[in-house]
Chains A and B, each alone.
Chain A
Amino acid sequence: MAAGSAAGPSRAHSMVGHLRAALVFLALMLLLTGVAYPGVVTGIAEVVDPGAAGGSLLYYNGTLVGSSLIAQNLSRPYLFWERPSLSDYSFLNGTPAPPGPSDPALRALINETVQYMQKYGNYTITAPLSLWLVSPSGSALDPDLVPEAVLVQIPRVAAATNLTVGFLTDFVNNHIAHPELPFVGVAYVNVLELDLALLPLIGR
Chain B
Amino acid sequence: MVERSKGVHDVFESVLVANRGEIARRIIRTVQRMGLRAVAVYSEADADLPFVKEADEAILLGPANPAQSYLDAGKVLEAARASGAQAVHPGYGFFSENAEFARAVIGAGLVWIGPSPESIEQMGDKINARNLMEVAGVPVAAGTREPVTDVEKAVAAAAEIGYPVMVKTAGGGGGIGMGVAHDEAGLAKAFETAARAAARFGGNGEGPAILLERYIERARHVEVQILGLADGTVVALGERDCSVQRRHQKVVEETPSPGISPELRERMLAAAVRAGEAVGYRGAGTVECLVDADKQDFVFLEMNTRLQVEHPVTELVTGIDLVEQQLRIAAGEKTDVAAAVNGHAIEFRVYAEDPKRFFPGPGKIDVWSEPSGEGVRVDSGYAEGTTVTPFYDPLMAKLCVFGQTRAEALDRAREAVAAFRIEGPKNNLPFCAELLENPEFATGDYDTGLVARMRS
Do A and B assemble together?
no
Could you list which residues of chain B lie within 8 angstroms of chain A, going by C-beta atoms? none
